Chains A and B, each alone.
Chain A
Amino acid sequence: MTTNVDAIVIGGGIHGCSTTLHLCLAGLRPVLIEKDYAGRHASGVNAGGVRQLARHIPEIPLSIRSMGIWERINDLLDDDCSFESYGQVLVAENEEELAVCRARVAELNALGFIHEELIDAAELRRLVPAVAETCPGGVVSRRDGAANPAQTTTAFRRKAQQLGATVREGVAATNIRYSDGLWSVDVGTESFAAPVLVNAAGAWAGRIAADLGEPVPVETVAPMLMITSRVPHFIDPVVILRGRKLSFKQFKNGTVLIGGGHLATPYQDRNETVLDWKSLATSAQTVFELFPVMRSATIVRAWAGIEAKMKDDIPVFGPSSRHRGLYHQFGFSLHGFQLGPGAGAVMAELIVNGGTQTRIGDLGIDRFHPSTL
């Protein structure tokens, strides 16, 4: 039996859930299909960074749009998502790195973006007292922060459901097809049909795009994270390094999350990853050098989430270049969590209004396939 809905969203990550919610807010009746459960992969197990800092320029407008939603996330979701805003700080470990920071901030200012601010050694020490004294400064984005990723993704899913979205978890969308202006998919024994299909399937989205004739240069990756036992409170902002792969965040309960993009080996079809401890050891060594206070902490757990990474490191976002009613929202390349709320809002505008005020033109799939529409 086929159920007719207004839109079919494939993928229960933060992007699929956010788009589903915003479609509901616009008065549509969408269905959300997730083969595991909402937040099972990267959206639920990432570092939770809510970061405008150090983004690729083409996605900055989307990031800024998103930041405004994050700051009122409780109004949207009736859930605070454990969002907190102590800023994010990029640390330059030497003068050469600081020079790169200076140039970057100048470039952003010239483009009219003011969220990144160059800071000197004194301000760096004020924000991050525990950092090694040799660091000459860095960049801060003061409105940035962090949230609990699984809590956030679940909250989007729950709110969408409350507003009338149909949610199917634990069954994959199969047999995606288009005819007579309608997209149809099978979900177990059910079928859904709608004029709109959103491909937000994360690490699985590249296959869907390719099957629909729009292959893109994407790979599946699994960035690793590890968390420590509780240590006395010593740091508020999220810290990332300019020159080395490291991100660093202490939670209220004292545990410290260490990330930075070292990769595990993904086994996508088994929903599994195998960790690379020798790479995690590199992160541990960096923390050891930079934050002496951390040396006696213990590593309690390490993990990795499966996600899609584009060759050019920016997402595929916007309408298909081949099919009417098809929209892509994937390939966020290790930095999609903060974009989720804004991307869902913009995607709903694209679907409902046919356009958006937020500048997303450089993110389209037409950068790989000139439009045939």
Chain B
Amino acid sequence: MSVAPKREDYDVVVIGAGPAGLAAAATSASAGLTTLMLDENIGPGGQVFRAISSTPVTDRDQLGADYWVGADLVQALRAGNAEVIHRATVWSLDRNLDIAVSIGGASAFVKAKRVILATGALERPFPIPGWTLPGVMTAGAAQTMLKSSALVPDGRTVIAGQGPLLWLLAAQILRLGGRIDRILDTTERGNYFAALPHAFAFLTSPYFAKGLAMMREVKAKVQVVSGVTELAAAGDGQLASVTYVAGGKRETIPADLLLLHQGVVPNVNLAMSAGVEHRWDDLQLCWSPVLDASGNSSVSGIAIAGDGAGIGGANAAVVRGRIAARAAVEALAPASAVRLPAMATLRSDLAKAERGRVFLDTLFRPAPQFRIPSGDTIVCRCEEVTAKDVLDSVAIGATGPNQLKAYRRTGMGPCQGRLCGLTVTELMAQARGKTPQEIGYYRLRAPVKPITLAELAAVPKSEADVKAVVRG
């Protein structure tokens, strides 16, 4: 059964029920603001706490203590008066804070005084030869199946890439009895030295001990190849083998499943389509919204919290959610703000949660050859555009991603650039000798997720339009 929003207007609409969204909605509702939480999944948790209310995994050690923190956040939200709607896909948000949302095949429009976007992160594209073959998937997709259905791989499995999530997934697969044949670590050797100056902060962060323990746990059970500098998947209509180069030596191993992961990047589509200004982040190699210390964006009334505001991890996301919500309360019901934790306290919590981030960002900065493909490697999956196609278009005058659309339709398919946008920007920047900031990004437009023509046809029309039609 689907439930439409109860009201047409809300003080605060929070989009996304991950760590940031859960914390923001609970805070906003606790201060007495009318609060609507819209979330695309079937239950709360977002990616990191996916299926927190419904997972069939009951042994808490298998998913780790960090996962179960999500349960407390959900409880805090449920204790308040926030209206929560799941399976709700927000497909449009504009600078007037008009929101279009699809719930159970029907669309509704609501208006907010403040919007807190907590749309989280996406996995960075990993465009290597053969990455579009069936049998190649992202580590995140594998983790989704693991959390929501306790499914783990049982065929010949290779995990390739780098970053904290990769090790977490490997540990979780092993604990649930899954199979991993080999881990190919693509972390650049130079990154260890580059990250060294930032190591002290990391050593004193909560991530350090946990991360180290997890890597030890995985390395005890799986062969790990480090310093991988080349990677390709091959097979005839289905993944059959993975070829890699490490230490100058090339090796090909048979595989049924290749899980790829090289970090996550902010999920910017909804924010960009609303006109929020973004800047290229040269350390995290992605677009991040331009925000003030309270998470307010360049569009009045829209704040962004969580990894959508720049990758910071779950602990930071929770605090950013509270900060954004507190700022909304200060603006809309200043008298209620006194009952909330002070802004200074929250900002010091955030500093603590973000400790060690620069170390992780530097250490796990993906290598150029895994971000910027060449030759026949597919860049845009929806329209099957290769790196060479992009360079050919640059040669005849495509100066940025938006001009490229006219030549190659990149970014115009169902994914709307989610799987190719960063690659296209970096590839064109390299080809034209410009910075990614100068090259820019796709202009994103609603619907941010596709809706059916029938659903759009069924939405209530404005009076003026009905008249215009009658008049012809």
Residues of A within 8 A of B (CB): 37, 39, 44, 148-151, 154, 157-158, 227-229, 242-245, 253, 262, 270, 272, 274-282, 284-288, 294-303
Contact = CB atoms under 8 A, between A and B. Distances in A.
Contacts of A157: 397
| Chain A residues touching B, majority SS | mixed
B397 A277 contact: no
Given A274-B96, A296-B452, A302 B457 contact: no
B403 A296 contact: no
Interface string B431-450: 00000000000010111001
Given A285-B457, A288-B453, A288-B454, A299 B447 contact: yes
Contacts of A287: 453, 457
Given A244-B469, A298-B450, A301-B445, A281 B109 contact: no
Contact of B405 (A37, A150, A276): A150
A150 B469 contact: no
Contact of A44 (B109, B398, B406): B406
B109 A277 contact: yes
| Chain B residues touching A, majority SS | loop
B92 A151 contact: no
A297 B109 contact: no
Interface string B303-327: 0000000000000000000000000
Given A295-B453, A297-B453, A299-B451, A37 B399 contact: yes
B8 to A, nearest CB: 13
Contacts of B447: 299-302
17 contacts: A39-B406, A154-B397, A154-B398, A158-B397, A227-B412, A229-B414, A274-B95, A277-B459, A278-B465, A281-B465, A297-B453, A299-B451, A299-B452, A299-B453, A300-B416, A301-B446, A302-B447
Contacts of A149: 406
Contacts of A37: 399-400, 403
Contacts of B465: 262, 278-279, 281-282
A39 B443 CA distance: 14
Interface of B: 92, 94-96, 100, 109, 275, 396-400, 403, 405-407, 409, 412-414, 416, 443, 445-447, 450-454, 456-462, 465-466, 468-469, 472
Given A278-B460, A301-B412, 12 more contacts: A39-B403, A44-B406, A253-B409, A272-B275, A277-B100, A282-B465, A284-B453, A287-B457, A288-B453, A294-B453, A296-B452, A296-B454
Given A284-B456, A299-B456, A151 B469 contact: no
A300 B457 contact: no
Contact of A148 (B396, B406, B452, B468): B406
A39 B405 CA distance: 12
A245 B469 contact: yes
Contacts of B109: 277-278
A281 B456 contact: yes
A368 to B, nearest CB: 27
Contact of A301 (B403, B416, B454): B416
Closest 9 pairs between A and B when the two form their complex, measured CB to CB: A150-B406, A298-B450, A284-B456, A288-B457, A284-B457, A285-B457, A278-B462, A243-B472, A281-B459
